[in-house]
A and B are shown apart, each in its own frame.
Chain A
Amino acid sequence: MAITGNQAGPQTIAAVGEGPPTEVVRLGTAKGNWFRRVGWSHLVGVLALVFSLFPILFVVSAALNPVGTLSSSQLLPTRMSLDNFGAILSGSFPRWFWNSLLIGVLSAALSMFISACAAFAFSRFRFTGRRAGLLAVLLIQLFPQFLAIVALYLIFADITNLWPAIGLNSIWGLLLLYLGGALGVNTWLMKGFFDTIPKDLDESAKVDGASHAQVFFGIILPLVRPILAVTGLLGFIAAVNEFLIASVFLTDDSVKTAAVGLYGLVADPQTANANFGLFAAGAVILAVPTVALFQFLQRYIVGGLTAGAVKG
């Protein structure tokens, strides 16, 4: 199994940072030695921390800034108020936020399920077209959906005429569109993971009396939970952050996702200054679910990403 927790596990490059053996005699110069041992690590860590955090600090500070303009926002909040939050929550933002959550959760869950099904088929069955199918999936995943944005727009313009409920300006249409990419994105990653589950387990369950579906739901899915968590989280983040297609598809205020809606607040340089506080408050609210999910699933993530790396 390719999962390696990101908790402080066995340290592999222990040699780094330990001085060469000859240094031992200079134990007296404690300060220099401390720096060579752990000081440099702290230095790099603190610098990385500052670099990572200052834009986040700025956006939080801007969100709390009662004046609400870009020009008055400081890195550290000087005065605090929740005015921006109140203002943005009384506008269209709750609607956008809800749209984002809905699309994010549904598209992540359904994509995960679709690719888990496909990975199960590719990993467990031998059938004509399996090799061709795997190759096709590998090739298709090289072509992100949005490259065909022009064609997608034209196709959905036709769909809108026939079925407005799943056409342009509908989050359901966008959801269907995202599901079109499901098979390409995660199937390989998942298949690699599925392959690590011994086939004996399926066969044992079959002999015990399980149907193929009972094997899938009862044996395999519970055992691949780590990879489900990773693909689910990445799918959620990807859907919430998808901007290109959403901005073309969703133009009505009521169907916008938070990404499209927030962009609208600061798109125009003329209004960006005045709306920045609102925007920042929205950005902070939008960050809550992803950051929370991320912290919650953190232990699976490194393993899942590395598994993806190893499996290509």
Chain B
Amino acid sequence: MARSTVDVDTARPTGSPPGGRGRAGLGVGSDGTSSPLGLVLKIAALALLAAVAVWGAVPLVRTQNWIGLAVLVAVTLLGFYVYLSPRTIPLKYLLPGTLFLIAFQILPIVYTVATAFTNFSDGHRGSKEEAIAAIEGASVQQVPGSPVYDLTIAADGDPSTGDLVFLLADPTTDQVFAGTSDGLAPLSAADVQRSDAGRITAAEGYTVLDVAQISDRQDDLTAFTVPTDDGAIRNQGLSSAFDGAPQRAYDAGCDCITDAASGRTWTADDGNGAFVADDGQTLAQGWRVGVGLRNFGAIFTNDVIRSSFLRIVVWNFAFAFLTVLITFGLGLLVALALNNPMLKGKTFYRSLIILPYAMPAVAMYLVWRNMFNTDFGLINRILGTHVNWLGNTASSMVAILLVQLWLGYNYMFLVITGALQSIPKDLTEAAGVDGAKPFYAFRTITFPLLLVALAPLLISSFAFNFNNFNAIYLVTQGGPFSPDNPSAGGTDLLITYTYRLAFGGAGADYGFAAAISVVIFLIVGVISVLAFRRTRALEEVN
């Protein structure tokens, strides 16, 4: 990304003037450029932009990503144009934010919507060719007579991200090889250290992985093979590997995969991105295709999903609404109490009461979760009970709302205090003179004015809590879960549900997760537009 964030066409007006030019006031001295410092900063920023562009271009050229390169060049040229032209003044101020907005907010939204119409998920990630290659690779079986190598699993560079490498020792010939996805290359004996049994323990230029690191990369390992003339070398367990040939092969004629041993065939189904046998059995490895509205349809047609989805939507609304309601209620009570003109020690109360608002929320959610712990939690110990607070849906909900109240009422207290103090004193005094009792005056004058002033903020608060991932994920993780549907918990919000579908343990279903994201977009969008229509926000655009 172009990092052209700063318009440096400036210098502090009070900055040190170099050698005053005496009578500069006649318009002769000011030639349209700003101070030399401003000019230097501007040149430096544009040079930085150019440098970043070059840095960004290198990998694009290397991978021959010409479209990416074209975009990079266009953005860089745009940057130069905007900051060098004297005419594009508003753009000078808008460009950096707009570029970031497009790259990291608008594009992802577009991408999300596009993904929602695909079957993108584990097993349906890549193209059909990649799926075929993976199926063939995974079906490799040992070729009779070929060697079994002592295997050491390593990585080229960083243990968690570097390409996998098989360090192989042939026990019969005592030769050593490095096997990569490009093929087998002999290693010099001098570059490797070997154990007594002959296994390689270290090799120059590679990082040997320990068991934990290997298990982190199990998926990579499963898909990894070293191509050879006959077929491919693949691992058998973690310490040996064999040279084998694929048992399954793709035949373009019938657009199908045939298993050499059993003779079974799986025919490609381009609508679903999978190879399907006559009896309906599909191969795990498929490819990514557009599936139209199927993901959205599943929300409403799949019984398990539908029931949990509706339940989640209802709770999601209730959660957001109740959070706003209780935080506003308690905030109002405390604000009224502390607004009492005869109260001493206001500052003391105020600065301590708002402390939770300043505490790091993530940590405090976790503190609360642990206070609700069944065996060790503070709450059970204080109450002398042994209740599994987070183990049942109803008490989980209450617990979460209590946490929300604690974290949120301080904020409401602050803004209500501010709003109270901006309501003209004359109004309540006039009501008092008219004979209204205090509570009546509050109910008929102060409270309606407060609501008017704070309505947009309450709407924002609702919209924020509608997607309050942290509150749910950190306190209950969406749980408790019922055995019949482990993917949707009792306190799940749509956003935590989405997160679990995409990144949870049970295999990623990006397409479905994206579809739910789109549904959230729609819900939030409709609510907000309806709400903001009633406020002045939209009018202010004009």
A and B touch in the complex (CB under 8 A): yes
Residues of A within 8 A of B (CB): 4, 6-18, 20, 37-38, 40-45, 48-49, 51-53, 55-56, 58-59, 69-71, 73-75, 110, 113-115, 117-118, 120-121, 125, 127, 130-131, 133-135, 138-140, 142-155, 160-164, 166, 169, 176-177, 179-184, 187-188, 192, 209-214, 216-218, 237, 240-241, 243-244, 248, 251-252, 258-259, 262-263, 266, 269, 272-273, 276, 279-280, 282-283, 286-287, 290-291, 293-295, 298, 301-303, 305-306, 308-312
Q: How many A-B residue pairs have CB under 8 A?
A: 405
Q: Which residues of B contact A213 (CB under 8 A)?
A: 7-10, 34, 38
In the assembled complex, the Cα of A187 lies from the Cα of B382 at a distance in Å of 47
Q: Which residues of A contact B529 (CB under 8 A)?
A: 142
In the assembled complex, the Cα of A49 lies from the Cα of B535 at a distance in Å of 34
Which of B10, B105, B371, B536 lies in contact with A211, CB distance below 8 A?
Answer: B10
A267 CB to closest chain B CB (Å) equals 9
Q: Which residues of B contact A291 (CB under 8 A)?
A: 355, 358-359
Judged by a CB distance under 8 angstroms, whether B189 is at the interface is no
A259 CB to closest chain B CB (Å) equals 4
- Apart from A45-B338, A217-B12, A286-B363: 12 A-B pairs, beta carbons within 8 A: A7-B347, A12-B428, A14-B425, A16-B336, A16-B442, A18-B438, A143-B525, A244-B495, A259-B362, A259-B363, A298-B351, A312-B535
Q: Number of B residues contacting the other chain (C-beta, 8 Å)?
A: 146
Query: Quick check: A45 and B366 within 8 Å, CB to CB?
Result: no
A176-B1, A306-B415 as given contacts; A287 in contact with B363, CB under 8 Å: yes
Which of A70, A160, A218, A287 lies in contact with B359, CB distance below 8 A?
Answer: A287
Query: Quick check: A51 and B406 within 8 Å, CB to CB?
Result: yes
A212-B89, A240-B360, A298-B351 as given contacts; A134 in contact with B541, CB under 8 Å: yes
A290 CB to closest chain B CB (Å) equals 5
Query: Quick check: A45 and B337 within 8 Å, CB to CB?
Result: yes
A268 CB to closest chain B CB (Å) equals 11
A52-B410, A138-B532 as given contacts; A294 in contact with B362, CB under 8 Å: no
Query: Quick check: B355 and A151 within 8 Å, CB to CB?
Result: no
Query: Quick check: A38 and B367 within 8 Å, CB to CB?
Result: no
Query: Quick check: B537 and A58 within 8 Å, CB to CB?
Result: no
Which positions 1-54 of chain B face chain A at CB distance < 8 Å?
1, 5-14, 30, 34, 38
Judged by a CB distance under 8 angstroms, whether B190 is at the interface is no
A143 CB to closest chain B CB (Å) equals 6
Which residue of chain A has the shortest Cβ distance to B33 in the bound complex? A211
Q: Which residues of A contact B389 (CB under 8 A)?
A: none
Which positions 406-445 of chain B face chain A at CB distance < 8 Å?
406, 410-411, 413-415, 417-425, 428-429, 431-432, 436-439, 441-442
Query: Quick check: B370 and A218 within 8 Å, CB to CB?
Result: no
Q: Which residues of A contact B11 (CB under 8 A)?
A: 214
Which positions 465-524 of chain B face chain A at CB distance < 8 Å?
467, 469-470, 473-474, 495, 498-499, 502-503, 510, 513-514, 517, 520-521, 524
Main secondary structure of the interface of A (DSSP, over half): helix
In the assembled complex, the Cα of A127 lies from the Cα of B94 at a distance in Å of 12
Judged by a CB distance under 8 angstroms, whether B108 is at the interface is yes
Q: Which residues of B contact A163 (CB under 8 A)?
A: 56, 59
Q: Which residues of A contact B13 (CB under 8 A)?
A: 210, 214, 217-218
**Sample of 19 A–B contacts (CB below 8 Å):** A11-B339, A11-B425, A16-B336, A42-B343, A51-B406, A146-B469, A150-B498, A152-B104, A154-B111, A176-B1, A209-B30, A217-B12, A241-B360, A263-B362, A283-B363, A283-B366, A291-B358, A303-B418, A305-B457
